[in-house]
Structure 1
Amino acid sequence: MKNTRTTFLLFCLAAASAAFIWRFEWAPGEPSGGMPGAAGALVSLDPDTVDYLGIQHGGAFIECRRDSKEWEMVRPVSARADSTKIYKIISELERLPRGLPITADERRARSLSLKDYGLDRPRAAVVVRDRTGRRLIRFGGESPLKDAVYVRLDADGDVWATSTNLPGQLPSEAADLRDRRLLRGDPASVNRLEFKRSDGPVNLLSRSAGEWIFQKPVIARADEAKVTQIIRRLFTLEIQRFVSETMSDPVTYGIGADEAALQATIWLDGSAGGETVLFGNALKDDPALMYASVKGASSVYAVPGDLLGALGARFTNLRGKRLYFMDEQSVRHVRIADDKRVLSLALSTNGWRISEPVKLNADDRLVRGMIAGLNRLEIERFVDGAFTNAAAAARASGSITLSSALPAASEPGAPVPAASAFTGAERSLSWRRNGGVTLACFNDDSQCFEIAGGQQDLFLPEPLLYRDRTVLALDPSAVCRIRIAWDGGVQAVERDAGSGAWMSAGPGRVAANEPAVDAVLGLVSYLKAVRFELSGSAGPEAFGLPEGCLSLTLGLTGEEGIQKTLVFGDLAGRSEVYAAVQGQDSVFVLELSALELLLNDLGR
């Protein structure tokens, strides 16, 4: 019985070999590429255009096809192929050296047949196809000196001796040529990641402006290094065993949707949907391995079990140490409040505006900087446990709200509604100061934390921090009179109504110093403050105002009004000076060069 079985197996192997050779040597409809290759090369091959590889070796018959840049195995199983191994085989074929042929006539003259070269039943055969056609390369036995392998090409009757160890490198079973990566793709192109333990909530992260942000279980910044490590671990995970290709019951392996110990889904740039991997039970014969499967496929694999610990990190362990409200580009409204004041800013078609407590144009750059600063406040430490009385008190001391929607529609000039009247995405941070520490929490997150010091101005509902720095923007053609006065002196010029020329004011009119006048007009056409001074309880006298050391009065025509007076006070340092516009409460700081410009003589 045993001899009968052995004979039967040998017969099947011979039949498979004959079928393989028939298919690629005598099958019609596909041209031969022409053998041998160029001088020095046994096989003429264009490796960049190879799209098919067939291998018969050790009783296995393997077929692979290339789709775009990736190789797929189509026989004996439908699966991903190892592109690196395939390209190595193709490269070896291309480099086969060509020796002298042993023709059929020479073999007959020596009373030798293909059997003497091991080519009656080749130990391996390879079919490769490129843009010019297919090649069939059959590998026989070794030369007597073991320094060459006998090869037969296509239907050519010649036998070639070539130097190669390729036959020993060819896969003898499908698993040898399968891609052992669980996931295929570039880790750098991942833009979304979701993972869930069987005993925990869904963790969903997305890539926003180059950063990883948690969307679930709460919105928070993620630890960039830890998330990158998880993604790298997924893409470097190697399959240790191919367990089954026909999974019928995923529960058997613990990889059902409800039983899986861990589920991980990734989305790549340019992909229509995500790919989900399920991880299940440990293998009974090797507890260091666990079952895994790609959702929607019937294959089951065994992968290293330590992955569960690496990918099963809790949300709290992956949370970053900087605050995150929302995507900065989506913010349309900001509300900062303490127990006494409220500052409200809204983005209009013309830029940011302060709408409460006063209505002023805001400096877009400063507001964007404030939003960026709030979105990156450093967390000193997370406070363990659920909310306590301390956290409740934090809500009562102050709050910061960012919203991606403007207030509900209202008439121009109407008061800004409370935070509850806003629609769209909105997050509020409540806070309380305790000495040098700021305790804070988000309205949609039960985690309390301490914010590091150093950026306390971001918590101030002070409009002067964000108002537009433009203090004068006059049309030079509307200025009809310039008067500069200082302690003990005055000079004035005015525009002649007839000629439009600038002349000294008063009796004995003479032409003015045009360059000096133009310099003053240029100054007041777009005068920006370095900053506005937060005076607190101090009056203008604390800055050498309102009298000042020097004043600039501009007589105006048309819509600009009657006149504007700019008053300069004390020095605010070595290169700055305090100033104010007469009739306005704000004190601001100008560069000292603005004052120095007014010391020029306006006369000839």
Structure 2
Amino acid sequence: MSYKTTIILAVIGLLLGGFFLFVEPKLRPTDDTEKWQRKVINPDSIKNISKMELRRNDSEITLEKRDEKGKDVWFITKPIQARAEEYVMIDIVSTAKNLDKLNVVKKEAAKTLNLADYGLDKPKCTVSIYSDGKEYKIKFGKESGIEKETCYLQLEGDENIYVVSKDAFGKFNKDINALRNKHIIEYEPYKITKIRMWERFSKEVGGKLQYVQEESEVARRDDGWYLEKPYTERLEDSQVNALISGVKDLTAEDFVAKKDDLKEFGLDIPKNKIQIFEKDNDKPYEIQFGTAPANSDKTYAFNPTMSEVAVVDANKFNALKKGRDDLRSTIVFDIKRDDIQIIAVKTSVGETIIERIEVEVEKEVEKDGKKEKQKVKEQKWTLKKPEGIKISENKVEQFVTKLLDIRVSAFLEKEPQDLATYGLKEPKATVTVTLKDGKGGTFTKSYLFSILADLGDAYMKKDWESQVYQIQRRHYDVLLLSELNFADDVIMSIPPTSIKRISVELVYETVSGKEAEDSYSCKLDDATGKWTAVGNKNKEIDEEKINRIVSELSLVRVTSFIGRTPELVNRYKLNKPHIKITTEIEVDAGGAKKRVEDTLLIRQISEKSYYAKRQNDNIVFKISPFLPAAIGAGIYKEEKEIEEEGHNH
């Protein structure tokens, strides 16, 4: 190849390269061009859709996109003022930009297409799409016979008629209820920093009942939510968050036209009004709640920016945390477990004091691969008062847990006129807790409890405030147990060899339903080690039966303590027991032997429920059925057994 030819080829190569470098990127690839040509409207022309008008039958709906706090939001502006449903608008806008021509009916030369043949003289739906100041109008006609599930469409300014998906028609052919957002108000929950609430109450003014509204203000601080007005109080964070999410998630089931007078809906003085504020924004989101429509399980709700009143499910409204009391902390003992030093419970039967002290214990630890004993300091609960009762460390911890778990069931008077109304002028139980103050010292908090009836609800107040609370009766009953909350389960522990005599009195019901009495008694003969009947020498003792009774008596465990009051003794009829068992026990008294008696009273309440008390105190407790069953079996041999033994001899 000559030098001249080489130069020519190089120049041609540079020219071709320059063509592809500067011209090719500006051309649409063939497949993209075909795709673009298939669209009813060039997607590049409607990149910035800002408004739509949907006309169907005799109705017209106008939708406009607005900037709301930096976010594009679609609104219905005609015939009502309402927010449009976001996902529906995303679907409609996407359909407009991706509306495909499936087929085309071309206008023949010198001929005009008859629009009536395609249902386009009276279109089913007309859509005007506005983008960058320009309008694009499309009309949907009747179903097409060319392809299944298709219909005819015409773009204004284009003489051709196109066949498009019937599904595309369905995206635009929506009524106002399908387009509107059913949420009453919408916001980002994490942005909320303040809430104002108004609650409606009835109040007597001049001898007449009138509606008044009480305002509350809630604000978020660094450590959580607080009530700021009408007084300051730490709130339950979870309840405030439930309010914020509950209002946001509340949706309308229907809408009714707003009237000039909102009294018909109970909105002239709303039952509840809530304003929710975002950070650094003084303009709140607002929702108002009125009354329920007649004979309905619905309630009216209203957003002042809307032109209609919403109808919401009354159950959802009732479940909404919308009042001051709904947000308040229901924790009674608002203290930290680790700060507790002393708990004192004072009731009508006495005072119980437990204290957590630091003790030094020896523990085996591993060091350098070897085990060695070291002295370490631990926290331990001790019973300071009453004395002489064996307690269980685990039960004390369970008692503390029960205290901390007490919750308010209802908020009563904030400023009661007379504490005697709730029995709190002379409380039946007072709990005083001594706490560490974090500075090396301590401080105390006292809580007052009372009841008005044996089986009624319980009431309480904190010593440093006037608010009265209602709590469940079971929480109050825990306090009445006092030291029994953590007393050892073993109510009787007697060495079997120390039991020298057993006397039993029984009351039982006969077949006819009448009560009958029975009794038996036996004693241990120290010389022979045999049990003999007392007062009934003709009866022979069954060793197996008496040994079973002795075994059960030697270790009597409480399944649960009930309490320690005369009222409980009467309630469980232990003043008329079914079983009275007296045990004579030999004990060591300073080197000398002496005998003492211990009497247990037992009454059966149901098939497997036995309640008991010792004769010398009023502590009522439940026991298992094993001891009553052993006592009920008696101590004598059956006549058949005696006959068989005689026959064997």
Q: TM-score range by the shorter chain?
A: 0.3 to 0.5
Alignment TM-score, normalising by the size of structure 1 = 0.47
Instruction: Select the structure of larger CA radius of gyration.
Output: 2
The structure carrying a bigger strand percent of its residues is: 2
After TM superposition, the score normalised by the length of structure 2 is 0.44
